[in-house]
Amino acid sequence: MIAAVLTIVMAAEAVVRETVNAGVDVGAILAFLRDVVTIISLAGGLFFVLAGTVGVIRLPDFYTRLHAAGMTDTLGAELILFALMLQSDNWQVIAKLLLVAFFLFVTSPTATHAVAHAAYKAGERPKLGRWRAPSLEDDT
């Protein structure tokens, strides 16, 4: 097992040394990979944000709108902030973006939960088909 891992590591090292000796610019390849990952992450985050917005506009009911907005906003924000973190070359900027991502990750689901709980306590009823909404008297 250890011998296999050592063999793989030595082979990878040999490949890297060979490419560097052959005149290939490894830094350019890494920068290209960073840009590709940035674009993929940014596009994914924008897709999630737009999907949540369309869901908030199109869905028929308050709770379904909450469901559309609550999750996609969190994931989309994290993906976009991750893309920005990859693009920044200053560690202070990366630390600030990490703080923004952490606070959004904590506060966005909490706010969603608070809004849902307040609406439920205020008597907002979901639109259901065959199923009935659980009554307030059952859980209090």
Residues that bind other proteins in the complex, under the rule CB under 8 A: 31-32, 35-36, 38-39, 42, 45-46, 49-50, 52-54, 56-57, 62, 65-66, 69, 73, 76-77, 80-81, 84, 87-88, 90, 92-93, 96-97, 99-100, 103-104, 107-108, 110-112, 114-115, 117-119, 121-122, 124, 139-140
- Is the CB of 12 or the CB of 54 nearer to other proteins? 54
Q: What is the Cα–Cα distance from 127 to 112, expressed in whole angstroms? A: 19
- Is the CB of 5 or the CB of 91 nearer to other proteins? 91
Q: Is 133 left (phi over 0), alpha (psi -120 to 50) or beta?
A: beta
The residues, ordered by sequence, that sit 6+ positions from 68 with a Cβ below 8 Å of its Cβ are 51, 52, 55, 56, 59
The CB-of-99 to other proteins minimum distance in angstroms stands at 6
The CB-of-24 to other proteins minimum distance in angstroms stands at 17
- Is the CB of 21 or the CB of 108 nearer to other proteins? 108
Cβ–Cβ under 8 Å, residues 69 and 52 = yes
Cβ–Cβ under 8 Å, residues 71 and 53 = no
Q: What is the Cα–Cα distance from 84 to 23, expressed in whole angstroms? A: 31
The CB-of-69 to other proteins minimum distance in angstroms stands at 5
Greatest Cα-to-Cα distance within the chain, rounded to the nearest angstrom: 76
The CB-of-134 to other proteins minimum distance in angstroms stands at 13
- Is the CB of 17 or the CB of 117 nearer to other proteins? 117
